[in-house]
Amino acid sequence: MSGHTMEERLSHTDAEVRRLAVIDLPYSDEVDDIAPLLTTALSDASAAVRLEAAKALEGFEEPAVLAAIVPLLRDSDTAVREAVAYTLAELKDPASSHALLPYLADPDPWVQASALHAIKALRSVEAMPAALAALQSAHAQVRREAVGVLAYLKQTQTLGALTQLAVHDADPDVRRAAVGALGFASQSELSVQPTLSRALGDPEWQVREEAASTMGKLGLMPGSASLIAAMDDAYWQVRLKAARALGKLRAKDALPALSNALDHPISNLRKEAVIALGELRDTRAIPALEHALHDADPDVRKLAKLALTQLNMPLGSTP
C-alpha cells in the first residue's frame, strides 16, 4: 500500500493487506531484522497470514523462530500445518530435533507424521525410540514417516523392525519404504536377503521394483535367483531394476534372462539389459550383444558397442 510503512501494513485491519506485507517483508529495506515480525505474524488471526509467515521463515534457524513455529504443527488450518512441516524440514537445525520430540507423541496422527518428516533429515539418534514406537501406529502415514527417520539413522538394531514391515505391513507404500530403508544394511547382514527376495513377490509392483533396486545396492549374491525370476515380471519397471541389479552382481547365471530382455518392446529395459550383459564379463554374452548392435534404438546400439569393448572383443568377432 503506497504511503504506508511496513509496520502499518503488518498491523492493518485488512487481513489481505497484512498477508501481502508478510510476503513483501523479506525484500523490504525498512526493517533490518525481519525474523521477529515474521514470528509475530505466525499468531495472526488470519490463516492466510500465518501461512505466508510460515513459508517466509524457511532458512531462519534462530532459537526464537524455532520456538514460535513448532507449535503451529497443531494449527487449525491444514495449509498452515503443511507449510510449517516443510519449513521445519528445511531448517536442518539440530536444535529442531529436541523441540520436535514431544510432537511425536501427539494424539493427532497428522502432527506425528509432520514431526517425523521434519526430524528425518536431522539424523538425530535421540529420535530413534520414538520412531520405532511410531512403526506401530494405526495410521500408514505415520508409519511411512517413521521408516524414513530410521532409514536416515542407519542403525543396524532397527533392521529387525524394518524387515517385519517390509513383508507384513498392510500399506504398500509402507512396505516399499521399508524395503528401500533396508538399503543401509551391509553385505555381512544377510538376514535382510530373505526379506528382499520375498518382497520381489509382493502383490504391488512398486514394492517389487524397490526390492530389486535394494538388492542391487547391497550386492546380495544369494538373491540372484529371485532377481532372475523377476526378469519375467509383468511390469517392465521391475525387470529393469532386476537387470540393473544382476549386472552389478555379475550374476553369470542371469545371462539367458538378460539376453531375452533384448527383445522387449521397451527400449529402456533393453538398454539396461545390454549394460548388465557387459558387466557380466562373460564372453558367452557376445552373440546377444552383437544382436543388439542392430537394435532400432541408437542408444541400445551404442551401449552394445561399449559392452563388447568391456569384453575386450572386437566388433563382429566370436569367442
229 touches 200 (CB < 8 A): yes
Is residue 91 over pLDDT 80?
A: no
Query: Which burial class, exposed, middle or buried, applies to 2 when counting CB atoms under 10 A from its CB (0-12, 13-18, 19+)?
Result: exposed
CA gap 122, 4 in Å, rounded: 41
φ and ψ at 138, to 5 degrees? -80, -10
Q: Which domains does the chain have, with CATH numbers?
A: 1-91 (1.25.10.10), 250-319 (1.25.10.10)
Percent of the chain beyond pLDDT 90? 64
Highest mean pLDDT (candidates 85-89, 94-98, 288-292): 288-292
pLDDT digits (tens, 9 = 90+) for 257-302: 999 999 999 999 999 999 999 999 999 999 999 999 999 999 999 9
Lowest mean pLDDT, pick from 50-54, 84-88, 243-247: 84-88
- Nearest CA to 69 among 101, 46, 91? 91
What DSSP string describes 54-97? HHHTTT---HHHHHHHGGGGG-SSHHHHHHHHHHHHHH--HHHH
Position 161 scores a pLDDT of: 95
Query: Which burial class, exposed, middle or buried, applies to 46 when counting CB atoms under 10 A from its CB (0-12, 13-18, 19+)?
Result: middle
Q: Which band of pLDDT confidence, cut at 50, 70 and 90, is reported for residue 319?
A: very low
CA gap 57, 83 in Å, rounded: 10
For residues 141 and 317, the model is more confident at 141
The shares of helix, strand and coil residues in the chain, as percent rounded to the nearest 5, are 70, 0, 30
pLDDT digits (tens, 9 = 90+) for 140-173: 999 999 999 999 999 989 999 999 999 999 999 9
Q: How far is CA 153 from CA 132, 139, 181, 183, 218, in A?
A: 12, 22, 10, 12, 17
Average pLDDT value over all residues in the chain: 90
Is residue 137 over pLDDT 60?
A: yes
CA gap 184, 192 in Å, rounded: 10
* Largest interatomic CA distance in the chain: 84
CA gap 177, 50 in Å, rounded: 32
Position 28 scores a pLDDT of: 86
Position 318 scores a pLDDT of: 43
Cβ neighbours of 235 (radius 10 Å): 14
Percent of the chain beyond pLDDT 70? 94
CA gap 214, 185 in Å, rounded: 10
pLDDT digits (tens, 9 = 90+) for 171-227: 999 999 999 999 887 655 667 889 999 999 999 999 999 999 999 988 877 778 999
